[in-house]
Structure 1
Amino acid sequence: MKLNHLNLCVNHMSEAVALFADIFDFELVDRKGDAISVMKDEAGFTLVLSRLATFGGEIPTYPEGFHVGFYVDTKEEVDGFFLRLMSAGLAGKEGGPKPMRGGYTLYFKALDGILFEITSFAV
């Protein structure tokens, strides 16, 4: 069995599409206004971005610990992502990449606080 797609709910569609295109090299394949966007990566994984619905006027947030993770082949790729984030003004208080749990990992927050992880285990 292989996970082939995921729906991620976001507050700001254009910001999310730009992040996944510019930082993670996803390609936009379909968009329905501000309601839904479909993106694919080079491995064929499909990411569906949908507008996060409000409940009683409040915008829900993801729980603490929720994150989106990417594995890359080399430590240099992790460093490359960090450079992309710095160029895009997204490198935050989480700091730069560091050795963690047997890998070399970069954490950053974007899209209203969603935690992202980029890790290489080839250290």
Structure 2
Amino acid sequence: MKLNHLNLSVPDVPAAADFLEKYFGLRKQPSDKKSFCALFDDDGLVLTLMKAANVTYPGTFHIGFAQESESRVNEIYQRLKDDGFDVNPPQRRHAWTFSVQAPGGFAVEIAA
């Protein structure tokens, strides 16, 4: 069995969708709706974003993007940092990893 669909509630759908597209290569389904967006990856994942007010995720909640190498993790870290995101450098934990708060109030882990 394969998990292939996840929905996140976010206060600003376009901002969250643009973030996921720009930094993680998800592709947006064309739509002019500001309250819903479907994004797709190359492995069949469908990530939907739905507009909701006052969204609060638990502190440990996050989504993750596995990378093919530590250098790719470092590249994404640097892009985010250069674009003004508040990110701590990657560290060795369960993997070479770091996290960032995405527009929409959820955390994203990047790891190799």
TM-score, normalized by length of structure 1? 0.83
* Map of 2:47 onto structure 1: 47
Q: Deviations over 1:38-77 (max 9, x none)?
A: 111122211111111x4xxxx1311111111121121011
Number of aligned residue pairs: 112
Note the C-alpha offset of 1:113: 3.4
Greater relative contact order (CA < 8 Å, ≥ 6 in sequence):
2
* Map of 1:22 onto structure 2: 22
| Corresponding letter in the other structure for 2:66 | Y
Structure 1 vs Structure 2 CA RMSD: 1.5
Name stretches of at least 5 consecutive residues in structure 1 with no aligned partner. none
Selected match of 1:83 from 66, 78, 81: 78
Note the C-alpha offset of 1:86: 1.7
Name stretches of at least 5 consecutive residues in structure 2 with no aligned partner. none
Output the CA distance in 1 between the equivalents of 2:74 and 2:42.
20
Selected match of 1:97 from 65, 90, 109: 90
TM-score, normalized by length of structure 2? 0.90
Question: Is the contact between residue 30 and residue 39 of structure 1 (CA under 8 Å) also seen in structure 2?
Answer: no
Which of structures 1 and 2 has the bigger CA Rg?
1
* Map of 1:108 onto structure 2: 100
Over the matched positions of the two proteins, sequence identity in percent amounts to: 29
